[in-house]
Structure 1
Amino acid sequence: MDILAEIAGTLLTQAQKPTLAFLMGGMLLAALGSRLEVPEQVYKLIVLLLLLKVGLGAGISLREADPVTLAAPAAAAVALGIALVLIGARSLAVWPGVGRMDGMATAGLFGAVSASTLAAGMAVLDSEGVAYEGYIGVLYPFMDVAALITAIVLARVSAARGTATPGPDGTATVAVGGGGLGPGGLRDILSETARSPAISALLLGLAIGLVARPDVVYADFYEPLFRGLLSLLMLTMGMEAWSRLSELRKVAHAYVLFGLTAPLIHGALGLAAGVALHQLMGFSGGGAVLLAVMAASSSDISGPPTLRGALPEANPSAYVGASTGLGTPVAILSIPLWMALADKLIGL
C-alpha cells in the first residue's frame, strides 16, 4: 500500500507541473469547444527547435562518452523497438475487426518513439534535479528506426504471403512487387525513415554537437527556450489528442483498449530494460526512466508520414487516432509512475 500511496502522490505532484498541466489544459480547452489554436507553421518550428536541442545535447555529451558504454543501451533500444512491434502486432491480430495492415501500422507507431514525449520526460527529470545520461537522446533513433522497419517489413511480408499464387508444381510463389519486399525494399525504408523531419533534425543536431563546438549557442539559446517551447507543444498536443478521439469511433474498439494499455505495458518493459542496464553497467535511475518514457511513447512526428508512405493501405484513423488520441496522453501522464517505480527499484 505504501508504494501505491507514493505513486499516487507523485502523480498528483507532477500533474501540477507545467509539462503535464499544459497537456491536460489543452485537452480541457478542446473539450469545452475553445477555438484556440497554434498555427501549423509555429508548431513545426517548435518541434524543430526541440529536436535540435535534444540532438545537440546528445552530441555534446557523446563527445565525452565511451563508445563501449553506449553499445549496451543502444542494443537495448533496438531490441525494445523490435519487441514492442512484435508484441503489438500479435496482440492486435487476435481482435476481430482489426485489419492486417492497420494492426501492423498501429504496432509500428506504438513501438516507435515520440520526440515530444521524450522531451517532456527530460523536462520533468530536470525540474526534479534527477540526473540521467547526457547521451540518452542518441537512443531515440535506434528504437524509432528499429520499430518502424520491423513494422513495415512484417506488413510487406504479410501482404506478399497474402498474394502468393500456386505454381505448376503446387508450391506457392510469393510476389515481391507492389506491397512485397522488392530488392531495394529495406534500403528504401531506411532512406525514407532517415529523411523524415524528426530523424533528420535529430541527426543534424547530433552531428553538429559531436563534431563542432555549439556549446555556447546551446547554453544561451536552446536551453533557455526549452521549457517554454515544450509548454506550447504540450498545449497543442492536448488539443489535438482530444480532437483525435472522435476518429476512434470509426474503427474497432480494440484500438481504444490498445491505446490505453500499450503505453503502460511498453513503459514497464522499457523500465525493466533500464533496471537490467543498471545492474549490468550502472545505468542511472534517470536513464531508466527515460528508457521507459521512450518505450511508452508512440511516434507523433517521424512515424505517421513514414507509415503513410510505406503502408498506404493502412487506415490513418486507426493508427494515428489511437496514438495521438490516447497513446500520447497516457505516455506523458505515466512519466511520474516510472519515476516512482525507478526510485523504489534502483533509486533516482
Structure 2
Amino acid sequence: MDFLTEFLTRFLDKLQSPTLGFLIGGMVVAAVNSRLQIPDAIYKFIVFMLLIKVGLSGGIAIRNAKLAEMLLPAVFAVVIGIVVVFISRNTLGRLPGIRTVDAIATGGLFGAVSGSTLAAGITMLESEGIQYEPWAAALYPFMDIPALVTAIVLASIYIGKQKSLSKQESLSKQESLSKQSVTAGGYPSEPEYPTTRQEYRSQQPITASGYPSESDDTASNRVKIWPIVKDSLQGSALSALLLGLALGILTQPDSVYESFYNPLFRGLLSILMLILGMEAWARIGELRKVAQWYAVYGLVAPLLHGLIGFFFGWIAHLITGFSPGGVVLLSVIAASSSDISGPPTLRGGIPKANPSAYIGSSTAVGTPIALAIGIPLFIGLAQAVMGGS
C-alpha cells in the first residue's frame, strides 16, 4: 500500500510540471477558438534546435562511453519498434470497421519516435535530478527506422496478398462461366480463359531462363527496403538528431553547447509544448472521420508501448546496469509516436492507408497521452521500482 501511495504522489507531482502545463495551455487556447497562431517556420526551427541539442549531448556522451553498454538497449529498441507494429496489426486490425492497412500504418506511426516527446522526457528527467545516459537519445533511430520499415513491408505484403486473392477469385469465376457456356449444338464451348494453372502459366511471357516472367503487378509489389530507410534518414527530425550526434562525436562542441544550446533548451521546449497542444486539439476533428476505435487505441497504445519499453529497459538495467533514467527514456520513445518524419514516410510508403486514421489517433490522442500521463508514469515507476534519482 505504501508503494502505491508513494507512486501516486510522485505521479501527481509530475503532472504539475511546466512542460505539461504549456501542453494543456495550448489545448485550452485552441478549444476557445483563439486567433493565436505560431508560424510553421518557427515550429520547425524549434524542433531543429531541440534535436540538435539532444544530438550534441548524446554525441559528446558516446565519445566518452563504452559502446558495449549501448548494445543491449539498442537491440531492445529495434525489437520494440517492430513489436509495436505487429501489436497494432493483430489488435486494432481485428476490430470491426478497421481496415487492416490503416491498422498497420497506425502501428508504424506509433512505433516510430517523436523527437518532441523525447525532448520533453529529457527535460523532466533533468528537472527531477534523475541521472541518465546522455547517449540514450541515440536509441531514437534504432526504434524509428525498424518500425517504419516493418509497417511498410507488412502493408505491401498484405496488399499483394489481397491482389493475388482477387485475381484468383476472378479467374475462378471466369473458369466457371466458361464451363457453363454451351454451344448451339449442345456441347460446351471452347473456354476463352485458361482452365488450369499449367495453361495459365503457359500463356505468360517466357524469360531467358525458361520460366514465365512476373507480371508488372507482381514486380511492383516487391518491397525495396533501402528507399524506406533513406526516406527516414532524410526526414528533418532524424537528420537533425543524427547531425548533432555526428558533431558531438567528431568535433569538440562543448563550449557552444554549454553557452547556447543548453540554456535555450527549456524555453524552446515550452513553446513547442504550446504548439503541440494547439495541434492536438485541432486534430481531434480528424478522428470524427474514422472509427471510434482509433481514439480508444490512441488512449491505450502509448501507455502499453511505454510499459513494454520499461520492461525491456528494466532487463537491460539488471544485465548491464542501464540507469533508471535511461529506462525512462527508452519507455518514453516507445510511448511516443512520430509527428514529423513518420507521417510523410507512411504517406509515400502506404498510399492506400487513410492519413486521418493514423495521424488523428497519434497527434490528437497518442501524443498528449504520452506527454501528460506517460512521462510522469514512467518516472514515478522508475523511482518506485529502481529508486531512480
Tell me if both proteins adopt one fold, taking TM over 0.5 as the criterion: yes
TM superposition score normalised by structure 2: 0.86
Q: 2:244 aligned to 205, 216, 235, which one? A: 205
Number of the residue aligned with 1:330:
369
Number of the residue aligned with 2:182:
none
SS in structure 1 of the partner of residue 91 of structure 2: helix
- Kindly indicate whether the alpha-carbon contact (under 8 Å) linking 1:7 and 1:336 is maintained by their aligned counterparts in 2: no
Q: Which amino acid aligns with 2:355?
A: P
Superposed counterparts of 1:1-348, under 5 Å = 1-164=1-164, 165-166=167-168, 168-169=197-198, 175-178=217-220, 180-182=221-223, 185-333=224-372, 334-348=374-388
Computing the radius of gyration from Cα coordinates, the structure with the larger value is 2
Deviates more, 1:139-148 or 1:162-171: 162-171
SS in structure 1 of the partner of residue 364 of structure 2: helix
SS in structure 1 of the partner of residue 339 of structure 2: coil
CA distance in 2: counterparts of 1:284 and 1:275, whole angstroms: 9
Q: Which amino acid aligns with 2:386?
A: I
SS in structure 2 of the partner of residue 96 of structure 1: coil
Q: List per-residue Cα deviations over 1:202-256 (Å, max 9, x = no partner).
A: 1111111111111111111110110000000000000110111111011011101
Q: CA offset at residue 42 of structure 1?
A: 0.3
Q: Which amino acid aligns with 1:168?
A: R
- Kindly indicate whether the alpha-carbon contact (under 8 Å) linking 2:94 and 2:100 is maintained by their aligned counterparts in 1: no
In structure 2, do the counterparts of structure 1 residues 33 and 45 end up closer, same or farther at CA, with 3 Å as the change threshold? same
SS in structure 1 of the partner of residue 218 of structure 2: coil
Q: CA offset at residue 45 of structure 1?
A: 0.3
Q: List per-residue Cα deviations over 1:148-181 (Å, max 9, x = no partner).
A: 111111011111111114482489x894344x22
CA distance in 1: counterparts of 2:156 and 2:222, whole angstroms: 6
SS in structure 2 of the partner of residue 50 of structure 1: helix
Q: Which amino acid aligns with 2:225?
A: L
SS in structure 1 of the partner of residue 197 of structure 2: coil
CA distance in 2: counterparts of 1:221 and 1:29, whole angstroms: 30
CA distance in 1: counterparts of 2:78 and 2:44, whole angstroms: 27
- Kindly indicate whether the alpha-carbon contact (under 8 Å) linking 1:113 and 1:295 is maintained by their aligned counterparts in 2: yes
Q: List per-residue Cα deviations over 1:243-277 (Å, max 9, x = no partner).
A: 11111011011101100000111011111111100
Q: List per-residue Cα deviations over 1:266-320 (Å, max 9, x = no partner).
A: 0111111111001001110111111111111111111111111111111111100
Report the identity percentage: 51
Q: Which amino acid aligns with 2:81?
A: G
CA distance in 1: counterparts of 2:256 and 2:82, whole angstroms: 36
- Kindly indicate whether the alpha-carbon contact (under 8 Å) linking 2:137 and 2:329 is maintained by their aligned counterparts in 1: no
SS in structure 1 of the partner of residue 121 of structure 2: helix
SS in structure 2 of the partner of residue 139 of structure 1: helix
In structure 2, do the counterparts of structure 1 residues 237 and 273 end up closer, same or farther at CA, with 3 Å as the change threshold? same
CA distance in 1: counterparts of 2:318 and 2:153, whole angstroms: 33
Q: CA offset at residue 110 of structure 1?
A: 0.6
Q: Which amino acid aligns with 2:317?
A: H
CA distance in 1: counterparts of 2:381 and 2:130, whole angstroms: 14
CA distance in 2: counterparts of 1:135 and 1:76, whole angstroms: 15
Q: Which amino acid aligns with 2:226?
A: R
SS in structure 2 of the partner of residue 250 of structure 1: coil
How many matched pairs? 344
